[in-house]
Amino acid sequence: MLLTNVRPWAGSPVDLEIDGGAITALRPATSEPDAAGPDAGRIDGQGLLALPGLVNAHAHIDKTWWGKPWVPNPPARDLNERIALERTHRDRLGLPDVRSIAEQLREYVRHGTTAIRSHVDVDPGVGLRGLEAVREAETDVGADVALELIAFPQDGVLRRPGVDKLLDDAAAWGLAQYIGGLDPATIDRDPVGQLDVLFDIAERHGVGIDIHLHDRGELGAFEFELIIERTRQRGLAGKVTIAHGFGLATVDAGRQRDLIAELADSGVALTTVAPMTGNQLPVADLAEAGVPLGLGTDGVRDLWTPHGDGDMLRLAGTLAARCGWRRDDQLEAALRVAANGYFVGRPGAGLTVGARADVVLVDAETVAEAVVAAPRRELVLAGGREVVRAGRFTA
Ligand SMILES: [Zn+2]
């Protein structure tokens, strides 16, 4: 298949040759628009800007009530009350719901996201049902999205007997590629205990770890150190991610610099959701140190938040705005965070020969303009196959 006359990263027009779902050649554009006439193996890119498929590195796809009647967001005073509320209401709402999950995945694809790493709740109430529901929804989507799952103990590990066994089963049976965790100090009140359980499971089954850390200041920084220490001890470099990482965002500059160096050296990555609440990660410093950074939507339309539509291009703009970024090179850097294939096992992926043919076309002059304007996705290819045309899901 040939995708003609597109401008990768706003460069010179090229023709993209695609075979077996991958990009096999990039050549200077030769064909005039429409000169070849209608051809099943040829799509005219019309000189549009080409971006790589976007990567949602932090989703909660199992929690969504997408497509159901509006669910008012219930008030909660803190994290524990929010967790309790979700446990009370999810059964009443029929969550996790395969149809809602598939519809939300289609909405992600419609906006050009072709790879997703999602946390999926695992607890004594839902068991492993959420992981099974997401895998079932994945087969219903109709588009080839790369979906990596994290077995996520939203309700704690040590304080809920049996959760460690569920996490172990999820890893052993290949239902999840990662084991999650949550604020080991404030939720389980035993940071060393929770982390040792998680790292034991990861080491035993060869899976990764992706842990939520909201704890701020020195407590959060201490948890960073515990994670870095265990990543080194267990030989898990490149397989551990800290999500949110507010601790890093809220310590003084010297402490922050030392932690960033340790993250880079130990092979621990970070994801952010460009939070509304401040606590922005030092995105530029992380990039300079070579710490992989991903961007995610977090939950969309669930019992945690009514916000979001799964548009990673728009979210890249939000990240740039919340970092105080205005320059074109900064806006492009935000897009690179939103397209970081590291988090779905595709480091270095992009619009290059050998990469999976995940391509997003938009009508914009530059990458910076695309990030700010988030225009309609004119065409999305997932694994070389058309899945979106003129903003509509077509797969
Ligand atoms: Zn999350």
pLDDT digits (tens, 9 = 90+) for 154-173: 999 999 999 999 999 999 99
Distance from the alpha carbon of residue 213 to the mean position of ligand 1, in angstroms: 9
Distance from the alpha carbon of residue 363 to the mean position of ligand 1, in angstroms: 32
Same domain, 47 and 58: no
Distance from the alpha carbon of residue 212 to the mean position of ligand 1, in angstroms: 6
Distance from the alpha carbon of residue 364 to the mean position of ligand 1, in angstroms: 31
* Lowest pLDDT segment from 135-144, 245-254, 322-331: 135-144
With contact defined as beta carbons under 8 Å apart, do 52 and 355 qualify?
yes
Distance from the alpha carbon of residue 220 to the mean position of ligand 1, in angstroms: 16
Same domain, 18 and 134: no
Q: Establish whether the linkage from the previous residue to 52 is cis, with ω within 30° of 0.
A: no
Distance from the alpha carbon of residue 73 to the mean position of ligand 1, in angstroms: 17
Q: Residue 195 maps to which CATH number? A: 3.20.20.140
Distance from the alpha carbon of residue 279 to the mean position of ligand 1, in angstroms: 15
pLDDT tens per residue across span 230-274: 999 999 999 999 999 999 999 999 999 999 999 999 999 999 999
Neighbours of ion ligand 1 (CB under 5 A): 298
Same domain, 236 and 190: yes
Supply the mean pLDDT for the chain: 95
Distance from the alpha carbon of residue 300 to the mean position of ligand 1, in angstroms: 10
Same domain, 339 and 366: no
Confidence check: pLDDT of 78 > 70: yes
Distance from the alpha carbon of residue 7 to the mean position of ligand 1, in angstroms: 34
| Cα angle: 165, vertex 171, 176; to 5 degrees | 120
From CA 382, how far away is CA 393, in angstroms rounded?
12
pLDDT band per the 50, 70, 90 thresholds, residue 34: low
Same domain, 116 and 160: yes
Same domain, 80 and 6: no
Q: How many domains does the chain have?
A: 2
Distance from the alpha carbon of residue 41 to the mean position of ligand 1, in angstroms: 41
Own/partner pairs for 303-307, CB < 8 Å, 24+ apart? 303/63, 303/65, 303/71, 303/73, 303/74, 303/82, 303/85, 303/86, 303/89, 303/90, 303/93, 304/60, 304/63, 304/82, 304/86, 305/73, 306/71, 306/73
From CA 145, how far away is CA 147, in angstroms rounded?
6
- Write the single-letter amino acid at 123: D
Same domain, 223 and 295: yes
Same domain, 10 and 67: no
Same domain, 63 and 32: no
Average pLDDT of the segment spanning 330-349: 91
With contact defined as beta carbons under 8 Å apart, do 141 and 106 qualify?
yes
Distance from the alpha carbon of residue 153 to the mean position of ligand 1, in angstroms: 11
**Of 303, 322, 344, which residue sits at a domain end?**
344
pLDDT band per the 50, 70, 90 thresholds, residue 38: low
Distance from the alpha carbon of residue 58 to the mean position of ligand 1, in angstroms: 6
Domain coverage including residue 34: 2-52+350-393
Distance from the alpha carbon of residue 386 to the mean position of ligand 1, in angstroms: 30
Distance from the alpha carbon of residue 294 to the mean position of ligand 1, in angstroms: 13
Confidence check: pLDDT of 40 > 70: no
Confidence check: pLDDT of 107 > 60: yes
What is the pLDDT, as a whole number, of residue 346?
Answer: 83
pLDDT band per the 50, 70, 90 thresholds, residue 134: very high
What is the pLDDT, as a whole number, of residue 350?
Answer: 86
Distance from the alpha carbon of residue 304 to the mean position of ligand 1, in angstroms: 10
Distance from the alpha carbon of residue 296 to the mean position of ligand 1, in angstroms: 9
Please list the helix, strand and coil fractions of the chain in percent, rounded to the nearest 5, in that order: 35, 25, 40
What is the pLDDT, as a whole number, of residue 276?
Answer: 87
What is the pLDDT, as a whole number, of residue 168?
Answer: 98
Same domain, 78 and 180: yes
Distance from the alpha carbon of residue 170 to the mean position of ligand 1, in angstroms: 19
From CA 281, how far away is CA 93, in angstroms rounded?
34
pLDDT band per the 50, 70, 90 thresholds, residue 215: very high
| Cα angle: 70, vertex 299, 327; to 5 degrees | 115
What is the pLDDT, as a whole number, of residue 367?
Answer: 98
Confidence check: pLDDT of 139 > 80: yes
Q: Is 385 helix (H, G, I), strand (E, B) or coil?
A: strand
Same domain, 43 and 105: no
Confidence check: pLDDT of 188 > 60: yes
Distance from the alpha carbon of residue 55 to the mean position of ligand 1, in angstroms: 15
Distance from the alpha carbon of residue 272 to the mean position of ligand 1, in angstroms: 9
Pairing of strands 178-182, 146-152: parallel
pLDDT tens per residue across span 189-202: 999 999 999 999 99
What is the pLDDT, as a whole number, of residue 209?
Answer: 98
From CA 364, how far away is CA 46, in angstroms rounded?
12
Same domain, 59 and 41: no
What is the pLDDT, as a whole number, of residue 278?
Answer: 80
pLDDT band per the 50, 70, 90 thresholds, residue 33: low
- Write the single-letter amino acid at 60: H
Distance from the alpha carbon of residue 183 to the mean position of ligand 1, in angstroms: 11
Distance from the alpha carbon of residue 209 to the mean position of ligand 1, in angstroms: 14
Q: Residue 6 maps to which CATH number? A: 2.30.40.10
Give the closest residue to 194 by CA, choosing from 247, 243, 155, 239.
155
